[in-house]
Structure 1
Amino acid sequence: MKMTKNPISKLIVLSSLVLCSYSGTVLAQQSTPPVMCPGYKQGPSNIPSERVGKKIQKAFEAYNNDQIKEALDILYEIDTSDAFDRAFTDKFIGQLLAVQEGQAKKSLQYLRNSVKDKQLTDADHASILRVVADVSLQDQQFQNAIDYYKKWMEFTCKEDPEVYLRMANAYYELKQWDNVIGPADKAIALYDKPNKNPYVMKLSAYFERKMWPQTIAVAEDLVRVFPDDPQWWSQLGMFYAQVEDYKKALAMLEVAYNNGFLKKESEIRVLSQLYASNDIPYKAASIMEKHMKEGLLKRDEKNLASLANAWHSAKEIKKAANYYGQAAALSNDPDYLRRQGTLLLSAEQYKDAVATLEKALEANKDAKEAGRLHMAIMEANFYQGNFKEAYKHVKLAMNDSATARSAKSWEPYIKEKARNRGIKI
């Protein structure tokens, strides 16, 4: 799970560019000083030299007219050895490049240069530290982003939940899972209104390391803090299932289902499996059947066989046989035919049982199953009074070591019943 990155847009430039007014040959800076660390002495409020100031004013006018290229061309021409003029010019260039597609790396060169010697006013210095961090994050220079967010915090002594969240995201991208937790917790504590993103960062960092108790604890927080968000209910249920706490998993997913939160086939399948694991097979089968009829669950071999098995566990023999038959029709798997035939035999639908079991016998290439199939066909024929067919199959079952003993015990019984009916076998 990954937090969506915040794109660097023209808003960054608008929010961080120094607002300038030109009066004669003086370019005045009107930025508001930031809240600084206790005991910090405010730095000087320098202004560009007259020569540089005129060019900057001209570039700023071009920028105001959306002539970004022209503004940059003017700024590139500035050649100065004055430290403040250089820093101020580089700041302006870097900010304009930040909104140009594909210019992030070049923008960062200028922006970092503008703050390396603390020549700018306190407000500008703080602002550019933050912009460098934001642009670095956007350009996937994650360690650089972290470094500059830290520099911004050290310089301003501010704690901003968005900064902590972006740091957590950068650590996540670097796969430094253990470092994600601290800034994510800070962000959670600082947001005035709960924001799910830092919780997601924590959840992801624990999940990646398979730290299930911690992952579950964060998921429980997500359900508690964001109860109307469907995905956290199902996620928490899945995490409980991961640690084999099937009762809690079922309770959570049942609540989610009853509130209409489960929308995916995989979620319905897991819920059904949890009913089965908790010895509630009727519900396991009912929920699968319902959503198969509605189309959420695919009517494929795997789902049909699972549904048949669930109805079998619920002792709904006829339904189970029906769904094994449907699974067999899609797969031509003789084992589904064997199961269907055996269930039809249990349901005393002997004629259908014989037909199905004979298909299974014909399709079955596994000699180990032959004896069992002959025995089942024998029984279905016997209970219909077809003693000749029963006797034929019991003799064939005697050839299989797995069923020979049972078949031998049936043989005299079949002969006796046939003799009593006057049937010669």
Structure 2
Amino acid sequence: MLKKLISSSMLVAFVATATLPVATQVAAAEQQAPKKKKKTKIVGQSVGKKVQKAFEAYSEDRIDDALEILLEIETSKEYDRAYVDRFIANMYATKGGDANSVKAIEYLEKATKGDILNDKEQSDSIKLLADLQIQQKMYREALANYDAWMKYTGEEDANAYVKIAQAHYELKELDKMIEPADKAIALFEEPNQNPFILKLTSFYERKKYPESVKVLEEVLQLFPENKTWWTQLGMFYTLVEDYDRALYTLDLAYKQGFLEKESEIKMLANLYANNDVPIKSAKLMEKYIDNGLIPRTSENMFTMANSFHAAQEVKTAAKYFGDTAKLSNSAKHYRRQGLLLQQSEQYDAATKALQKAIDLGIENKGAVYMTMAEAYFYQEKFKQAYASIKKAQEDPKSRKAARSWEQYIKDTADRKKVKI
């Protein structure tokens, strides 16, 4: 719904034109120096009195009464008819709503036909007509009227160019959005984000990612306080595979407190991991899993555990692979936990995790039994080590290595006087 499109000052101008003495009207016309050399027209006295009554009703917020007065006006002169139709259109537009906007369009089309109105009246009416047509999704007609308005006035307007770009978007004419968006950017006295959004939309939907990056770099310079532009730029850097800039941008955004969503934090963590700083990735995931922003799912826990492992934080990685395994009940996660527990010399815990992996049907059991045998061996549990190494020999892939270990376990057990 449009807000009141007719200010009191505009309506005063309507009525003044209708009621001022002729000499005063002519003087005002000379002062305005209209762009077109058109003789200033005025409504007849009878019509002017009725328009005055309509304006008084409008001033008292009795728009329906104003419309009733205007709709009953009969005219014999084409200017009077165009003038009243314009006033009616403005009243319908002021009421708002789709049905009233359609009525406003109908009356504006009649009012502007034939260029009968005075210059300012005509130009304002054409522009309002285009605005209402945009609202009613009459995009092709709106484009024609914005063009007509600019040609009529010789003026350009930033907001009009934004609407032109929007109309092209709605018409799926993505390539035609760029020129009006650029003109809007140039015409706005203060930077405005809307034309940048339209440019970005055009480039993105056409998969022109390098051009999208340039738009985002420009708009971020103008609106550094808008956190959306930081995250968007970081994302688009990844689309053009400029991961260094993506990391720099999102890292800076994070330090300013601009990253608030799960997806944003995970994107930054992923960039840390892929840019050889896994410890930052791990600790970032840990922080936001702990505070609940990132859900404690097996997938997220695995990502964090993997980053701790890449950062050589073996004990911490083992702990989180254990948490991952509890959530997923996956044999491969228990195996990862077991391997890291053994690597960190937590042999008893390692054998338990590895046994869980076997119980859950891990593939390549021979290798797992080999690791179990080693863990038992270092605990001097030679009987269990020997049993595990015999199991490892059942797998053709590990049989040869397991046989070499078998004798070593037996010899060591003999020296320690342990029966196996």
Identify unmatched segments of 5+ residues in structure 2: none
For 2:56, the equivalent position in structure 1 comes to 61
Instruction: Give deviations 1:138-167, integer Å, cap 9, x for gaps.
Output: 222222222211111110001111111221
For residues 249-288 of structure 1, the aligned pairs below 5 Å read 249-288=246-285
For 1:242, the equivalent position in structure 2 comes to 239
- Residue identity opposite 1:72 in structure 2: L
Over 3 Å counting, the alpha-carbon distance change for 1:421 and 1:173 in structure 2 is same
How far apart, CA to CA, are the structure 1 residues paired with 2:300 and 2:25?
70
Is 1:399 aligned to residue 397 of structure 2? Answer: no
How far apart, CA to CA, are the structure 2 residues paired with 1:210 and 1:240?
13
For 1:9, the equivalent position in structure 2 comes to 3
Using the aligned pairs only, state the percent identity.
Answer: 43
- Residue identity opposite 1:171 in structure 2: H
**Aligned-pair CA distance for 1:370:** 2.5
CA contact (8 A) 1:36 1:156 kept: no
For 2:224, the equivalent position in structure 1 comes to 227
- Residue identity opposite 2:3 in structure 1: S
Q: Which has the higher contact order (CA 8 A, sep 6+)?
A: 1
Over 3 Å counting, the alpha-carbon distance change for 1:360 and 1:188 in structure 2 is same
**Aligned-pair CA distance for 1:301:** 1.8
For 1:313, the equivalent position in structure 2 comes to 310
- Range moving further from structure 2, 236-245 or 212-221: 236-245
Is 1:127 aligned to residue 124 of structure 2? Answer: yes
Over 3 Å counting, the alpha-carbon distance change for 1:327 and 1:298 in structure 2 is same
**Aligned-pair CA distance for 1:36:** 5.9
Equivalent residue in structure 1 for 2:372, among 350, 374, 377: 377
TM-score (norm 1): 0.90
Over 3 Å counting, the alpha-carbon distance change for 1:402 and 1:116 in structure 2 is farther
How far apart, CA to CA, are the structure 2 residues paired with 1:326 and 1:35?
81
Instruction: Give deviations 1:16-54, integer Å, cap 9, x for gaps.
Output: 54431465999x9799787865xx32x232222344333
- Residue identity opposite 1:408 in structure 2: R
- Range moving further from structure 2, 342-351 or 88-97: 88-97
**Aligned-pair CA distance for 1:8:** 2.1
Instruction: Give deviations 1:206-254, integer Å, cap 9, x for gaps.
Output: 1111101100111110122222322222221111111111111111112
- Which has the larger helix fraction? 2
Identify unmatched segments of 5+ residues in structure 1: 1-6
- Residue identity opposite 2:249 in structure 1: M
How far apart, CA to CA, are the structure 2 residues paired with 1:360 and 1:35?
90
RMSD: 2.4
Instruction: Give deviations 1:361-399, integer Å, cap 9, x for gaps.
Output: 2123x5x24333222222211211112212222222222
- Range moving further from structure 2, 187-196 or 70-79: 70-79
For 1:3, the equivalent position in structure 2 comes to none
**Aligned-pair CA distance for 1:81:** 4.9
- Residue identity opposite 2:172 in structure 1: K
Is 1:109 aligned to residue 93 of structure 2? Answer: no
Equivalent residue in structure 2 for 1:206, among 199, 203, 209: 203
How far apart, CA to CA, are the structure 1 residues paired with 2:397 and 2:43?
99
Over 3 Å counting, the alpha-carbon distance change for 1:15 and 1:317 in structure 2 is farther
**Aligned-pair CA distance for 1:87:** 1.2
How far apart, CA to CA, are the structure 2 residues paired with 1:147 and 1:35?
27
How far apart, CA to CA, are the structure 2 residues paired with 1:34 and 1:320?
79
How far apart, CA to CA, are the structure 2 residues paired with 1:23 and 1:243?
65
CA contact (8 A) 2:268 2:281 kept: yes
Over 3 Å counting, the alpha-carbon distance change for 1:182 and 1:29 in structure 2 is farther
Over 3 Å counting, the alpha-carbon distance change for 1:280 and 1:25 in structure 2 is closer
CA contact (8 A) 2:369 2:391 kept: yes
**Aligned-pair CA distance for 1:290:** 2.5
- Residue identity opposite 2:114 in structure 1: D
For 1:93, the equivalent position in structure 2 comes to 88
TM-score (norm 2): 0.91
For 1:418, the equivalent position in structure 2 comes to 413
- Residue identity opposite 1:293 in structure 2: D
How far apart, CA to CA, are the structure 1 residues paired with 2:186 and 2:21?
48
- Range moving further from structure 2, 277-286 or 388-397: 388-397
Over 3 Å counting, the alpha-carbon distance change for 1:89 and 1:351 in structure 2 is same
Is 1:176 aligned to residue 173 of structure 2? Answer: yes
CA contact (8 A) 1:25 1:53 kept: no
How far apart, CA to CA, are the structure 1 residues paired with 2:385 and 2:357?
17
Over 3 Å counting, the alpha-carbon distance change for 1:29 and 1:351 in structure 2 is farther
Instruction: Count matched residues.
Output: 413
